[in-house]
Amino acid sequence: MNKLNSFVSLKTTVALATLALSATLNAHAQAWPSKQITFVVPFTAGSATDIMARVIGEKLGPRLGQTVVVENRVGAGGTIGTSAVAKSTPDGYTFVVVSTGHVVNPVLYSKLNYQLKDLAGVSPIGTLPSALVVAPGLGVKTVKELVDKVRAAPNGLNYASAGIGSAAHVNAEKFVVGLKLKGNHVPYKGTPQMLVDIAGNNVDYVFAPLISSVTMIREGKVVPLAVSSEKRAVAFPNIPTMAEEGYPQGQFNFWIGMLAAAQTPKAILDKMNDEINAIVDLPDVRDRFEKLGALPFKMKPAAFDKFIQDEAATLGEVMKASGAKLD
């Protein structure tokens, strides 16, 4: 009987503590925001995710009357920064801006210290075409020429990414696995150095976010073969899509979005969602997105959660087939 009473007492204590936390968070939600907001970007400065986070942060601060700080917490395929937010207090003052690669981390890391469900969807921000670009010294001008060259090489060619599990890596594996190509994956610690090495002929090809590679493409430092989006990029209407080139295996939806710790009050998630949707509709932001080859991507928090689950199921299978692991 004493054990039963202790069990009931424990359940009551937990329930009361949960109610108290909920009441506290709801009270914070009503006064939100009352202090600095932090966007954690788990990738390097200058990466596509970083650029998009800063575009939103620049506009959000004045709209909410608070400072918005972008903090780059790099490492382990974006999991270090993401883990920090997953374990943060769910009070609406710390968010993480992730990209497509976020959904495959549970496949890559068997000892990942958080789960996708530990984060709540706030809002997608945008979709970004990736460009299949090759080193200028490779001597190819079309996707077919690249595929033929890969198949002719005994061990395939080297393909780069911004790190294992990055969007560039997932896109490349979808292409390589889908066409049963050989090759050597060369992961970098970020997009900028990856592109420098492509331009320097130190690695053969990469699916690079257009937002990060636009300058090198315009300056002729790398050779673009196709974009991975369904439609041609507004910024480069003369570059065909992978599907148009006859290689739908390279088609890929590279998205960037914002998440918060699970249990963040719904009122805060909804408010942030409304603000982000309003920001991406601003004429100057749309113009900036267009110049970067990006498109606004809108979805309510619950729908974004479902979208992430679906992406995890589909792309998780691609990464399993690739055999990529990080622990």
Can you give the CATH number for the domain in which 295 is found?
3.40.190.150
Strands 205-209, 130-134: pairing is antiparallel
Residue 19 counted as domain residue: no
266, two tokens: 């719904």
Q: Which tens digit of pLDDT belongs to each residue from 239-289?
A: 999 999 999 999 998 999 999 999 999 999 999 999 999 999 999 999 988
Q: Which residue has the higher pLDDT, 8 or 231?
A: 231
Residue 16 lies in a domain: no
Asked whether 125 and 298 are in contact (CB, 8 A), the reply is no
In this prediction, residue 150 carries a pLDDT of 98
Which of 201, 235, 250 is a domain's end point?
Answer: 250
226 and 160 both lie in a single domain = yes
Do 245 and 274 reside in the same domain of the chain?
A: no
Model confidence pLDDT, tens digit, residues 183-196: 999 999 888 899 99
pLDDT at 20: 53
Distances (CA, A) of 67 to 57, 61, 62, 193, 315: 9, 5, 8, 30, 36
Average pLDDT of span 3-22: 54
Residue 47 has a pLDDT of 85
In the chain, the number of structural domains is 2
Looking at the fold, whether 124 and 261 belong to one and the same domain comes out as: yes
Q: How far apart are CA 138 and CA 140, in angstroms?
A: 6
Q: Specify if 288 maps to a domain.
A: yes
User: Can you give the length of the chain in residues?
Assistant: 327
Do 167 and 278 fall into the same domain? no
Nearest to 185, CA basis, from 108, 98, 243: 108
Q: Is residue 6 part of a domain?
A: no
204: tokens are 């053969």
pTM: 0.82
Residue-range definition of the domain harbouring residue 77: 32-128+254-322
Residue that is last in its domain, among 250, 274, 308: 250
Look at residue 9 in the predicted model and tell me its pLDDT. Answer: 58
Does 239 lie in the same domain as 142? Answer: yes
Residue 36 has pLDDT above 50, yes or no: yes
14 part of a folded domain: no
Do the domain assignments include residue 114? Answer: yes
pLDDT at residue 16, rounded to an integer: 57
Two tokens, residue 284 = 């100057």
- Average pLDDT of the chain to the nearest whole number: 91
Within this chain, do residues 97 and 158 fall inside the same structural domain, yes or no?
no
pLDDT tens-place string over residues 58-75: 999 999 999 999 999 998
Do 166 and 244 lie in one domain? The reply is yes
Residues 166 and 200 in one domain: yes
pLDDT digits (tens, 9 = 90+) for 115-129: 999 999 999 999 988
Mean pLDDT of 200-215: 93
Long-range contacts of 178-183 (CB under 8 A, 24+ apart): 178/249, 178/250, 179/147, 179/247, 179/249, 181/147, 181/150, 181/151, 181/156, 182/150, 182/151, 182/153, 182/155, 182/156, 183/150, 183/155, 183/156, 183/157, 183/158, 183/159
Residues 124 and 135 reside in one and the same domain: no
Q: pLDDT tens digits, residue range 13-24?
A: 544 555 555 555
Q: Are 228 and 254 in contact (CB under 8 A)?
A: yes
**Residue 143 located in a structural domain:** yes
Percentage of the chain beyond pLDDT 70 is 91
What are the structure tokens assigned to 239, written together?
């570059």
Which pLDDT does position 174 carry in this prediction? Answer: 94
Please name the residues in contact with 117: beta carbons below 8 A apart, sequence gap of 6 or more: 262
DSSP H helical ranges for the chain = 2-31, 48-64, 79-86, 105-108, 143-152, 167-179, 191-199, 210-218, 266-280, 283-292, 301-322
